[in-house]
Structure 1
């Protein structure tokens, strides 16, 4: 049975009702020695507490998309088949042109909670050694005969940790927030790509860590090549942006600044610069990795300022102040815009920012798309 969705949630509610009724019906009817009666009543109390906690957890998980499956929750899902040392550029010395074309089969998603226009595929990364699901949303213009020969810009979207790639469509409600703006022409007809970012029971820090995980190459090499091989898009960085919230915001800013040859713009919603802001991150546990994957350090240590436009949003130390630090360190052609928000570190805040974020992306990328 799926962890998410209506069926399991209804079952947990039924269990809560049973847990409430049991003491009412049986409390005074238990027979036997005092120890036996006491043990029976204690079990009823514990059952009531456990079911109450369970129903709250399921409700919160469904609302925020923290864990997509039982494997994600229990830490038994393994999406890393290999984690070779791929070198500084994350390709292991290979060129994308030398790799065979990746032809994927996509299934259309018919889940009303995820909105329309969404499809899914399972990708095995030829470079990263990662395998996982990738969701792709195509704008209405994609199948319009007037756009038949046009290549489309792409926005890769990253979830927080824990978090599901479906969050962008179920909880952040991307289609509701942004699709009307795309249809009206206020926002460019972006293809939105949501790859799996939970690759184990730890936050990967969106990094390549030999022997553990090649999360960077999974997102910036394998997923990008697959999209280019299956849809009308170019691998030119001018047509690619990356957006994330929370830990995904950190990942979006970090990957864009580290790979201006792959992305021209990024949006960090309540992200952070220092990996230590997410203590469970693999890059926060090692002093060298922590320094190397600090977004501010990446920007400051670049040999030449990256040609990347970056929008950072947040409240206080939760995104806003890290964004100001990046803005003060940026030199042309790097552009850093910072926007203050209110409401805290929650999904509704990020959902409400999507129209602004995608309008901003359209302005930044418009000369090139």
Structure 2
């Protein structure tokens, strides 16, 4: 039974009700003053409190996605994983590689509105576990393979890739169940508004429950390296995806949107385009979720400030889309960023920045779902058609 399944919560609630009934039945029989009666009462109270805490913990975890599987909960330290060589096969879904493996515990079965049909007709969504060759980090993700991936006519073609990042502390599953990302991508692709694209769905919190904001933490999780180097390397080892950064894009909402902008501007050799829905432009300290990510190193913290970076470091070749609403809390910061970047894009045509604003809406999935189709169309238009092909066999 999966950690994130509703069935597990229902089982625990049923168990709690049975324990409560047992307490009502046993309590009069344990009313004596002897050691057996005393320890019996303590035992029953302990069991029912543990069960109630477990129900609360499961409910909170299902809501915020701190742990997406039993592996996350019981074996969170993946930095010591022994990694083998990159697998040689790149023709189809993973099964025997060391960097990408099928993942059974995912919650994918709870998503009921995925397109139904054969993979060569509607594509397919798989749950996978990706392991980093450089950082040693490991996390569960989802991958949407378009119908063309399974069509023999495209058997030698490589595909563009879109990395979609959830907000914090949402799990990768939120990109399917709440944002409907692969569902929308499939609809756009079948109507010709989006090129056949492989979409990888992940969470930014690779060291849950800590929010690492997609930065390389000194002495801690190397979150930026994970997304900029490990994830592309792993996916290229298992799927027919482009080797060129010009065919790789990154997209996200909230924290995922901020991560998308950082990755595109700091790692243009990994991602050539980014679309950010309601993202921030600098790493905002959060003592509860992230702590001091930079260990007091102000110079390092400054390098992750996008305004400072664009004005003080070489301008990268990249395409950015800023998406928000005019009633969003950080709308003034968005206006400030766009005003500051305008003269830079005029002087450096290798950097383009577009924007899209709805008249109203907040920091909610309702707003992000309305913004999603146009965002996916834009990023598809800014991903180069892969030029590399699979060799003939």
TM range (shorter): 0.7 to 0.9
**CA spacing shift, 1:14–1:192, aligned 2, 3 Å:** same
- Does the Cα contact within 8 Å between 2:160 and 2:386 map onto a contact in 1? no
Q: In 1, distance between residues paired with 2:365 and 2:376?
A: 17
Structure 2 residue 245 is matched with structure 1 residue 237: yes
In the TM superposition, residue 40 of structure 1 has moved relative to its aligned partner by 10
Is structure 2 residue 180 aligned with structure 1 residue 173? Answer: yes
Task: Provide the residue aligned with 1:186 in structure 2.
Answer: 193
Aligned partner of residue 152 in structure 1, secondary structure: coil
Aligned to 2:234: 226
SS at 2:110's partner residue? helix
Task: Tell me whether 1:254 sits opposite 2:253 in the alignment.
Answer: no
Q: Equivalents in 1 of 2:283, 2:62: separation in Å?
A: 27
CA drift of 1:185 comes to: 1.5
Q: Deviations over 1:7-26 (max 9, x none)?
A: 31212332454577678878
* Two-structure CA RMSD over aligned residues (Å): 4.0
Work out whether 1:208 is the aligned partner of 2:216. Answer: yes
Does 2:67 correspond to 1:67?
yes
Counterparts of 1:28 and 1:343, CA distance in 2: 57
Displacement of 1:154 after TM fit? Answer: 0.6
Contact 2:204 2:255 in 1 (8 A): no
C-alpha distance 49-123 of structure 1, shift in aligned 2 (>3 A): closer
Separation (CA, whole Å) in 2 of partners of 1:353 and 1:43: 53
Distance 1:256 1:157 in 2: 13
1:291, distance to aligned residue in structure 2 (A): 1.8
Q: Equivalent of 1:112, from 99, 109, 114?
A: 109
In 1, Cα distance between equivalents of 2:8 and 2:326: 35
For these two proteins, the number of residue pairs brought into alignment is 352
Counterpart in the other structure of 2:12: 12
Higher mean alpha-carbon deviation, 263-272 vs 127-136, is at 127-136
What is the CA–CA distance in structure 1 between the aligned matches of 2:217 and 2:103, rounded to whole Å?
33
User: What is the Cα deviation at residue 302 of structure 1?
Assistant: 3.1
Q: Among residues 333, 336, 341, which one is paired with 2:354 in the alignment?
A: 336
Do the aligned residues in 1 keep the contact of 2:244 with 2:386 (CA within 8 Å)?
no
1:302 to 294, 310, 313: 313
CA contact (8 A) 1:237 1:264 kept: yes
CA separation in 2, counterparts of 1:343 and 1:71?
37
**What residue ranges of structure 1 are gaps of 5+ in the alignment?**
83-98
Deviates more, 1:331-340 or 1:177-186: 331-340
1:157 to 161, 164, 167: 164
- Give yes or no for contact 1:154–1:241 (8 Å, CA) kept in 2: yes
Matched, 1:325 2:310: no
**How far did 1:355 drift?**
2.0
Query: Cα deviation per residue 1:25-54 (whole Å; 9 max; x = unaligned)?
Result: 789998558xxx9x9999999988886775
Which residue of structure 2 aligns with residue 362 of structure 1? 380
What TM-score results when the alignment is normalised by the length of structure 1? 0.76
The structural deviation recorded for 1:181 is 1.7
CA 1:345–1:278 in structure 2 vs 1: closer, same or farther (change >3 Å)? farther
3-state SS of paired residue (1:335): strand
